[in-house]
Each structure stands twice: as C-alpha cells, then as structure tokens.
Amino acid sequence: MKKLLIFLFLSLLSLELNATTLSGKYELKSSKINYLVRYLIKKADGDSKAAKGKGECLAACEFLVAAPIKTFESKDGNRDLNMLKVTKAEKFPLVIAKIKTPKEIKNGILNADIEIDFSGVKKNYTNISFKITDTVDGFHSEGQFDLFLENHKIEKPSLLGVDIESIVPITIVADWKKI
C-alpha cells in the first residue's frame, strides 16, 4: 500500500512539474505567419513577419494579433498582387486573430480557440494546439491550423483553370515578451 501511495504521489508531482501557468501582460516581440496554398500540381507559400500583438492572462488568457495583408509575401509578386485582390485587402487590410486560452500550459502544450477576422468575415477555429517553451523574458509558441477559404467567403483563385484547394494551412511562430 505504501508503494502505491508513493507511486501516486510521484505521478501527481510529475504532472505538476509539467504544468506551468501564464500570468500578466504580454507583447508580441516577433512572429512569422506562413500560409500554404495548393494547386493540382503546384504549391505556393507566403510569409509575414509584420504582425503586432498583445495579450493578458487573468482568469484566462486573451491575445490579439493583427497582420497587414499586404505584408504577406511569396516569391511571386504577381501572386501577391492577386492575393490582395482576392482577399479584398483594400477594404479589409488586416487579418485579425483573437485568441482565448486557459492559463495553464500542460506538457508544453496550450490549447486555444481562435476567432479569425479575414476578408471581412469572422470565423471561430477551436482547440488549436500551440507548443509553448519558456524564454528568458516570456514564451515562444508554435502552432498550425487549417483555414477554410469558404469560411471567409473568399473566391478561390485558379491556375490553368484549376482552383486552389479550399484548405489553407496556417503556421504561426511567435515570441511573446512579458511586460
């Protein structure tokens, strides 16, 4: 019986050691947001490193991140110009993410619900996992989710008459500084 109690105590202790809690206010220090579009025979991706953001953790955590659409660049200027038209960037110049998470990070993973405001349409994406690592002045996060173009009423561009896929994987890498 003593061995069982010791085992249970050590198991609970190891779970607690693998859990950390976010608290206070944060500012986005740096980020890279990547998108990937797929055609039938080709892939194209673009990045933005121009996002701004802030967050606060009280009873739960809420983060706000915004990136100008025009800052997403691929290696094809014509594609980038077409993307600005398709996403109605003149009328809706920002993609905005409102992120809600619990304060607790378990085993280096933080699960979040994200409301994406893109091309003038808001859509919720739930239970998105971010890998979190502590840094000297805050934390580093990495996560991925699939954005669906139909959810944001975006007409799919085509290449040689074939539309791009509706699912656009988004990868977010961000460093947050505690303020």
Rounded CA gap, 136 and 146, in Å? 31
Q: What is the mean pLDDT of the chain?
A: 88
The helix (H) or strand (E) run that includes residue 81 is helix 77-86
**Contact of 141 with 114, CB cutoff 8 Å:** no
- 81-132: pLDDT as tens digits: 988 999 999 999 999 999 999 999 989 999 999 999 999 999 999 999 999 9
**Contact of 100 with 124, CB cutoff 8 Å:** no
Domain limits, the chain: 21-178
Q: Does domain 21-178 have CATH number 1.10.3720.10?
A: no
Q: Which residue has the higher pLDDT, 122 or 40?
A: 122
Give the confidence band of 16 by pLDDT, cuts at 50, 70, 90: very low
Q: Distance from CA of residue 19 to its chain's centroid? A: 21
pLDDT above 80 (res 68): yes
Listed residue (126, 147, 128, 139) closest to 55, CA to CA: 139
Residue 1 has what pLDDT? 54
- 141-164: pLDDT as tens digits: 999 999 999 999 998 877 777 788
